[in-house]
Amino acid sequence: MLVIIGVAVLLVAVVAFFAWKALSTPPPFLNKKRKTAEIIDIKQLSHDTKRFRLSLGSSRTPLGLPIGKHIRLFAPNRNNPEAELRRERSWNGRPCREAGSEIQRSYTPTPSVKNTGFVDVVIKIYRPGKFQMPDGREVTWEDGGKMSHYLDSRQVGDKIEIMGPIGMHEYLGCGQFKVPGKVIASKKYGLLAGGAGITPMLQLVWAALHDPNDTCTFSMIYANKTEHDILCRDLIEEMIESSNGRFRVTYTVDFPPENWGQPGSARLSNNLLTQKTGFITADMIKECLPSPDQQPIILMCGPPPMIEFACKKNLDALGYPADMCAVF
């Protein structure tokens, strides 16, 4: 009788423990309402790129961001009083289309082994100055980027307003990809990224590679101006090496360094990482991405000119069906 009572007490204790644990788990940070997050770390990744680590308030709090969606950051519209009057009318020499006292921008967090307690956002800083374009033209940005200019001035301990989840697309796993109004599916993905557009691609591939039931393969072309502009390069190449052949990447840059694209110049010795030069072309897509007859899903993220002229135009010419292509 005493044994039975002891077992019963033990079972009650176990059930109570797991019930307490379930109830004590914080809800996801993101709930589609504006929240305040504190910047707890800032890391300089390159000459014009920073990683901002935002606290979720508790070390056990999950972010709650579905794969393929993003978060929205908010900032003052005009944060430089000296140029406020001019910036009301124009920005970087063009008419300013944003009115009001606030701006907002969307970003995809970078993946992390630890998925609770904080979220990392990689931001490319567009500072005022002169820049050389791929065609050799020199342009002057008198203001730089609004949001990146604001974030560049932030320090550890500062707080920023964020909201999410935001977005129309979601990777459901095992090749299932949700777009507005339907779900499309394929075991092969072609990814076209430019600059900071790498982040949603890494989020998706990271999730697929860490799902033991997911067998999809991913081929990506990642375009930048220079080799130094390649964001999250260490993470990209770690993912390539651990992918068992499921993740292939081609870097293409407008201004290549010496020996770029030559045999042995890539940091990985296998054929999963290659190097090319120039804009994304139809020939590059034909060589590096799954062909249309393999019925791949093609995802794009990058500057609007790249999406419209280097991606969509060439994809259409090569026969990729529009209903299997999506832009983040």
* Dihedrals phi, psi of 210, to nearest 5 degrees: -95, 5
Closest CA to 284 of 219, 202, 216: 219
Three-state DSSP at 90 gives: strand
- From the number of C-beta atoms within 10 Å of its C-beta (0-12, 13-18, 19+), residue 3 rates as exposed
DSSP codes joined into one string, 10-47: HHHHHHHHHHHHHHHSPPPS-SSS-EEEEEEEEEEEET
| Four-residue CA torsion sign, 206, 210, 235, 289 | negative
CB 97 within 8 A of CB 186: no
CA 318 to chain centre: 26
CB 241 within 8 A of CB 205: no
The catalytic residues are 70, 107-108, 301
Could you tell me the two tokens for 117?
Answer: 């307690």
- Residue 292, C-beta contacts closer than 8 angstroms, at least 6 positions apart: 318, 319, 320, 321
CB 118 within 8 A of CB 110: no
